[in-house]
Amino acid sequence: MSHHKASDRRMGYKGWCYVLCGLTILFFVFWISSPENLSFKWDENVAIDLKNDFVKVNFSVDKQEVHTSVYTRQRTPSKSMGKEILFLHGQVFSSQVWEDTGALTFLAEHGFRSVAVDLPGHGLSEPLQILKDDKSRASFLLALIKALRMQQTVLVSPSMSGMYSLPFLMQYSQYLSAFIPIAPAYTEYYSTVAYKSVQTRTLIAYGDADTGLGEESLKHLMLLPNHEIFKIPQAKHAAYVDQPILFQEKISTFLSSSP
């Protein structure tokens, strides 16, 4: 009789172990299958594919919690070069411009995880009124990079998006592997001392026909100590649209040669 009771107890222990193992497996499957985790899960064996989704972004401004969603599109390389590129956009564009010009595909094919985002109030993203100062916009980008689980982040920032990228560069440059501004706005708001304190490797790009914001931003961005200048021929303000192949090849070469 005692032998049967001991056997029953052993079976009971095994049964509970099976139950716990089963629950653990179910939790893991549920976790990786959620929209946020599935869309931005890193896997070098995944084939190049276009993935569109909303990603949740959480941050705080003056102790006020902000919860929002931003539309993103990404292409993941089949073989990783390590660096991951986050594309912002100008006032009249959205993340779609980087798909239309082939930038996401080209750079993914060259080994870079490439993600383009619709900034709040553009494309498929709702406006977010609280993004009214440098601190909040920098916090927004930091929360986005963390939500996307980006490592060795390269920030590409044309025109209007300088309102986000410049505050981020000044406050959180340690999160960037490289910075690629393309005639960004907002460069005049920072001092020579502020620029010279940033050590992030920078590729300053602008069109040779952009005599407005291109030349104006260049004067300030040249104060960054670790910079290279790429003057794009036969190109206006949206130089990456006028000369997409030249621009994309330069990014690939620049990032491939960086430490």
Query: Which residues are marked as active site?
Result: 159, 210, 237
d(CA 59, CA 115): 20
- Backbone phi and psi for residue 86, each to the nearest 5 degrees, phi listed first: -110, 115
d(CA 91, CA 181): 15
d(CA 55, CA 187): 29
d(CA 116, CA 94): 8
Burial of 54 (0-12, 13-18, 19+ CB in 10 A): middle
The number of CA neighbours under 13 Å toward the Cβ of 87 is 29
